[in-house]
């Protein structure tokens, strides 16, 4: 029987953060400690195969770029294609984790597990949460039935479709909203409360055809997010149209409601050939469509995930 390896890809984040002082959980620099150094601090479970690690990026995830996404998707698909690789763990900052996880689900649609993990405290903290999160993520990636892109933080397993960062500071910073988490990791044991994500389970059928081509793209489609609020107008949309924006997501109020001036500008954008998706700025729930809606809803996707779906839809269309 072939050895079943885990691959650990480092991209930076607070999990790799370093502060001058061990009691400082805020004034650190993210993306400093290498992935091999992070792994060296972990106990190796008896009988576990050695892991393969690779530093794909070393950034604060607020600075996540299309270039890093393209490289990451390329490395993920490369390793997933190796028969002796059981699964992949990716260390990532918490701030844009949900976008990267959803991007990888749509772009790679993995039949093996791709587990994104993170930390809210830097590696240099008195009590860092990163090592436990990394161990838990490895336990999930080793689970015999695991598949799809999931995220692990604070002992909880979230689907890439549902995960959202909901807290600025607490260690349990993520929620799966109405859907609830997929399960938990308890002392290295995975306890599922739902099924693993299904292949192609996405709320947008936008898987791109050729991941390798992503890396060679000079520019990705420009898709921006605008928001509804008291006193909103159409001026931001008009300015974006003048700049050649290729897609728009609107974070509406409540059930996706829009100030009449903003809605008029978005309808004009659609007429001009710019696709628009309507999501909500509410943390829970989804936009429920109703007769007469001129702007399609985001099928339950949050504004940032609707943007990822629209970018990939535009890329797929461009790939013909």
Q: Which residues are catalytic?
A: 14
Whole-number minimum distance, CB 13 to ligand SIN, in Å?
Answer: 4
- Residue 95 or 297: the one with the smaller Cβ distance to ligand SIN is 95
Whole-number minimum distance, CB 110 to ligand SIN, in Å?
Answer: 23
Q: Would you count residue 298 as binding ligand SIN (CB under 6 A)?
A: no
Which residues are bridge partners to 6 per DSSP? 87
Near ligand SIN by CB under 6 A: residue from 19, 30, 35, 101: 30
- Candidates 91-99, 184-192, 239-247, 256-264 — which segment interacts with ligand SIN by CB under 6 A? 91-99
- Residue 13 or 74: the one with the smaller Cβ distance to ligand SIN is 13
Task: Looking at 21-96, list the stretches that DSSP marks H as alpha helix, in order from N- to C-terminal side.
Answer: 35-40, 66-80
Query: What is d(CA 149, CA 314) in angstroms, rounded to the nearest whole number?
Result: 22
Near ligand SIN by CB under 6 A: residue from 86, 94, 109, 228: 94
Q: Please, are residues 30 and 78 in contact by the beta-carbon 8 Å criterion?
A: no
Q: Would you count residue 206 as binding ligand SIN (CB under 6 A)?
A: no
Residue 35: which residues within 8 A CB-CB, separation 6 or more? 8, 9, 10, 16, 53, 54, 55, 91
- Residue 137 or 274: the one with the smaller Cβ distance to ligand SIN is 137
- Candidates 93-101, 141-149, 187-195, 215-223 — which segment interacts with ligand SIN by CB under 6 A? 93-101
- Residues 112-131 binding ligand SIN (CB under 6 A) are 118, 120
3-state helix, strand, coil in the chain (%, to 5): 30, 20, 45
With 0-12 CB in 10 A as exposed, 13-18 as middle and 19+ as buried, what is 93?
A: buried
Residue tagged 């400690």 (tokens):
33
Q: Would you count residue 228 as binding ligand SIN (CB under 6 A)?
A: no
- Residues 163-182 binding ligand SIN (CB under 6 A) are none
Query: What is d(CA 239, CA 316) in angstroms, rounded to the nearest whole number?
Result: 26
Longest dimension (CA), the chain: 65
Q: Which two tokens stand for residue 302?
A: 């949050």
User: Which uninterrupted H or E stretch holds 56?
Assistant: strand 52-59
Whole-number minimum distance, CB 30 to ligand SIN, in Å?
Answer: 4
For ligand SIN, which residue has the nearest CB? 93
Whole-number minimum distance, CB 105 to ligand SIN, in Å?
Answer: 19
- Residue 131 or 296: the one with the smaller Cβ distance to ligand SIN is 131
Distances (CA, A) of 142 to 87, 182, 188, 240: 7, 16, 10, 45
Give the closest residue to 60 by CA, choosing from 23, 115, 17, 101: 17
In the shown chain, the binding pattern of residues 7 to 26 toward ligand SIN, with x for contact by CB under 6 A and - for none, equals -----xxx------------
Q: String of b and e for 227-249 (b: at least 16 CB within 10 Å)?
A: bbeeebebeebeebbeeebbbbb
Whole-number minimum distance, CB 31 to ligand SIN, in Å?
Answer: 6
- Count residues near ligand SIN (CB under 6 A): 12
In the shown chain, the binding pattern of residues 38 to 77 toward ligand SIN, with x for contact by CB under 6 A and - for none, equals ----------------------xxx---------------
The residues of the shown chain that bind ligand SIN, judged by CB under 6 A, are 12-14, 30, 60-62, 93-95, 118, 120
């Amino acid at each position: 029987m072939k050895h079943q390896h885990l691959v650990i890809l480092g991209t930076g984040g607070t999990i790799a953060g370093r502060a001058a002082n061990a009691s400082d959980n805020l004034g650190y620099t993210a993306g400093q400690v290498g992935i091999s150094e992070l792994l060296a601090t972990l106990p190796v479970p008896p009988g576990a195969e050695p892991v393969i690690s690779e530093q794909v990026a070393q950034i604060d995830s607020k600075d996540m770029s299309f270039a890093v996404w393209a490289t990451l998707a390329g490395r993920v698909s490369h390793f997933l294609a190796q028969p002796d690789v059981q699964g992949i763990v990716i260390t990532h900052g918490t701030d844009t984790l949900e976008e990267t996880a959803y991007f990888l689900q749509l772009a790679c649609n993995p039949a093996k597990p791709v587990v994104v993990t993170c930390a809210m405290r830097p590696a240099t903290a008195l009590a860092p949460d990163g090592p436990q999160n990394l161990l838990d993520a490895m336990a999930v990636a080793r689970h015999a039935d695991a598949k799809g892109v999931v995220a692990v933080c604070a002992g909880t397993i979230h689907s890439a479709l549902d995960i959202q960062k909901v807290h600025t500071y607490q260690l349990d910073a993520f929620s799966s909203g109405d859907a609830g988490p997929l399960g938990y990791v308890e002392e290295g044991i995975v306890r599922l409360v739902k099924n693993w994500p299904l292949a192609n389970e996405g709320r947008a059928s936008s898987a791109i055809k050729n991941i390798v081509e992503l890396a060679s793209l000079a520019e990705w489609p420009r898709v921006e997010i605008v928001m509804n609020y008291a006193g909103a107008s159409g001026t931001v949309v008009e300015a974006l149209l003048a700049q050649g924006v290729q897609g728009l997501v609107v974070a509406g109020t409540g059930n996706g409601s829009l100030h009449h001036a903003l809605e008029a500008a978005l309808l004009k954008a659609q007429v001009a050939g710019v696709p628009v998706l309507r999501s909500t700025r509410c943390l829970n729930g989804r936009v429920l469509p109703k007769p007469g809606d001129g702007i399609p809803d985001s099928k339950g996707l949050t504004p940032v995930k609707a943007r990822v779906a629209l970018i990939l839809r535009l890329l797929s269309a461009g790939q013909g």
